Amino acid sequence: MKTFMNKILSRRLLLILTLLATIFFSFVTFELNVLPLKYYIPMVVILLLFALLLYFIEKDKNDNHPIKVAFFKLVNIILAVALVFGSLSILKGSDFLASITNGGVQSVEIDVAVLKSSSYDKLASLKGKSFGANTSMGALDINKSETIIEDEIGDIKVTSYKTNNEVINALKNHEIEAMIVKEVELDSLNDIEKDFTDQIRIIKKIQIKKPRINANSAKVTKEPFHILISGTDKSGPIDTFALSDVNMIATINPTTKQVLLTSIPRDYFVDIVGMDGVSGKDKLTHSAKGGMNCTMDTIENFMGIDFNYYAKFNFTSFINVVDALGGITVKVPKYRVIGRDDGVFVTKKGHYTIKPGVNHFNAKQALSFVRERKAFVEGDAIRGKNQMLMLKAILKKCCSASIITKMDKVFESLSSSFETNMSAQEIKSLINMQIDDMASWDVQTYHLDGDASKRTSQLATVGDVTKFNKDGVFITLPDQQSIDKAKEYIQLVMKNEIVKVEED
């Protein structure tokens, strides 16, 4: 038995195993472009020399130093195992980058809805019945869903309406038995008819695929570029159209090592650009009804910029990265809280008490923190600031040395909740640049202001909203001075100048 173990643990065999592990690790890091060449070559040389050094140290013909030999053999085994696991982790990281980059095909979810009071419980029960839809916007998607329905139950009659209000009235008055509507539209129907979504039942969901959004590629390690960061609370696949609760312009300058995050209120009342059949003003969040490209076009229009990329995330699942990182520490400012003078507020979701100063959050607490708005005098403006605080804290922890032991959990938490049309190679180039210069980055934040007390009777993607409330719905009227200031900051970053955002 001892002779067998000696053969298994012979220094020659251990050398072969370590060399194979080193070759595998070197191949993986080279092929996947994980390290800059000036670090890669010395690393490979050091690993090979170390493997040879262990081989000679383990030499003990007369068995005079068994403890020393056993120790260095153990080091040899640990090195080989570490190299193999390191290679597998790098491969997993590369697979993760491949899964979230280059932008996937977008998906529009179309619902077939009936009144809850009806007896219809599945699509087949609507055979021979009348359907209705608002075809004034997104008519092509409605037509595609009509074809899919007919493939399942035969020919159907779909009455076209010009507004969502007309469709709702037709359904409630039994002029039609079912309505065809985009899933992303459902929340807006409650602005027309109080709690309308509680009065209907979805009996069929249809997925319509849309083309991917190509990047306006930049030399990401040499020139400044813009990314639209868009976040939604909708559960489900990240590629599905959903209203955006978070909209930020990330202006990144790799030369000056500065990032400017410009947050835009979700209810900003702006001209909607790039949506089929829609013109006029609406809440920025409703631009997502036309997909990510519509939100990008809309923001580009009033901010006077051109986006290079987008990064989309589902905040509900993305925030799980907080637990993967072992929690997040955020310094919370003292806000003006409704009914209190000390700045302490309780979140509506989870009923967590949050005090001004340093707070440590787990995922549930973090999500409640970034969702809260009704506790504050400034409402949605503060929610936007808290979202930026949380993103900054997550980025800071992701850039710390402690991330190495948590990468697997971080990848798992992000894989189904994050998507970008940056290429994996562009992201690797940024990582290589950071490893190469080890520079610290300065992150500045700015929040666009507006008057959130204003109301409107018309929304471009919804229509008349005075049926539910004669005064209309609340919007945030943009403050042009704030927009101009944001443009000034953005231009300075793009011109390689260092920006220091003035405190409010």
Instruction: Report pLDDT digits (tens) over 38-47.
Output: 888 999 999 9
Low-confidence ranges of the chain (pLDDT < 50): 1-2, 4-5
The domain ranges of the chain are 2-100, 106-210, 214-317+417-504, 321-393
Query: Is 247 strand, coil or helix?
Result: strand
Q: How many CB atoms are located within 10 Å of the residue 358 CB?
A: 9
The structure tokens listed for 351 are 């009923």
Rounded Cα distance between 3 and 11, Å, is 14
CB 126 within 8 A of CB 177: yes
Rounded Cα distance between 235 and 362, Å, is 19
Rounded Cα distance between 285 and 268, Å, is 8
Give bridge partners of residue 455 from the DSSP assignment.
474
pLDDT at residue 337 in the model? 94
**Per-residue model confidence as pLDDT tens digits over 256-289:** 999 999 999 999 999 999 998 888 999 999 999 9
The structure tokens listed for 52 are 């040879």
- Nearest Cα neighbor of 22 from 71, 73, 86 is 86
pTM: 0.83
pLDDT at residue 503 in the model? 66
Task: Give the architecture (CATH level 2) of 214-317+417-504.
Answer: 3-Layer(aba) Sandwich (3.40)
pLDDT at residue 1 in the model? 44
Kindly give the interhelix angle for 292-303 and 480-494, rounded to the nearest 10 degrees. Answer: 100
Kindly give the interhelix angle for 424-437 and 66-100, rounded to the nearest 10 degrees. Answer: 130
Who contacts 38 (Cβ-Cβ below 8 Å, separation ≥6)? 436
The structure tokens listed for 302 are 């009033």
Tell me if the domain spanning 106-210 has CATH number 2.60.40.10: no
Query: What CATH number was assigned to the domain covering residues 321-393?
Result: 3.40.630
Same fold, 214-317+417-504 and 321-393: yes
Rounded Cα distance between 112 and 158, Å, is 12
Who contacts 325 (Cβ-Cβ below 8 Å, separation ≥6)? 394, 397, 398, 403, 406, 410
pLDDT at residue 404 in the model? 60
